[in-house]
């Protein structure tokens, strides 16, 4: 009897694609998701725009945060003069978030985690195009 596990393994010929940190745009929810690690995630909303992605089973304090989501991304970009006709520079988007939301939780998260994550993982831009077949990796 063939199991679902067997079918999945056979379809990938025993080779699963390696996860790569990425940023992608979800058109249906109008949000940008930046994900640095493939793991079980808890989403913690810190303001109307920014949601922090936390590893549910992190084994060290520096491995707790694995990404973030910017909700209302297209609307936010349009309101802050960030063109969506070309891929959006995540550093510019995060700078606009810092200017717009002065509360300490946002400032701390963006300055100490989000900006360094984008730089370290070389996740520079994300295209705000509808329904991408695959995440845009830059």
pLDDT at position 88, please?
Answer: 96
Give the strand pairing for 41-45 and 88-89: unpaired
- Residue 30 · residue 75 · CB < 8 Å: yes
pLDDT at 61: 87
Q: Is the pLDDT of residue 134 over 90?
A: no
- 69 contact partners, CB below 8 Å, separation of at least 6: 31, 32, 33, 34, 43, 50, 51, 53
pLDDT digits (tens, 9 = 90+) for 28-78: 999 999 999 999 999 999 999 999 999 999 999 888 999 999 999 999 999
Instruction: State the pTM of this model.
Output: 0.81
Mean pLDDT, rounded, for 79-101: 95
pLDDT in tens, 7-29: 666 676 656 678 899 999 999 99
Instruction: Indicate the SS3 state at residue 33.
Output: strand
């Amino acid at each position: 009897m063939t199991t679902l596990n067997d079918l999945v393994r056979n379809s990938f010929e025993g080779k699963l694609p390696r996860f790569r940190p990425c940023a992608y745009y979800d058109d249906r929810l109008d949000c940008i998701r930046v994900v640095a690690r493939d793991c079980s995630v808890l989403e913690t909303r810190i303001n109307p725009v920014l949601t922090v992605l936390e590893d549910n089973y992190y084994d060290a304090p520096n491995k707790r945060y694995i990404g973030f989501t910017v909700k209302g991304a297209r609307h936010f970009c349009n309101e802050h003069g960030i063109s969506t006709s070309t891929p959006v520079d995540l550093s510019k988007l995060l700078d606009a978030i810092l200017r717009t939301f002065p509360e300490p939780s946002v400032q701390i998260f963006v300055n100490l985690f989000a900006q360094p994550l984008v730089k370290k993982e070389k996740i520079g831009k994300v295209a705000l195009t509808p329904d991408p077949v695959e995440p845009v990796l830059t």
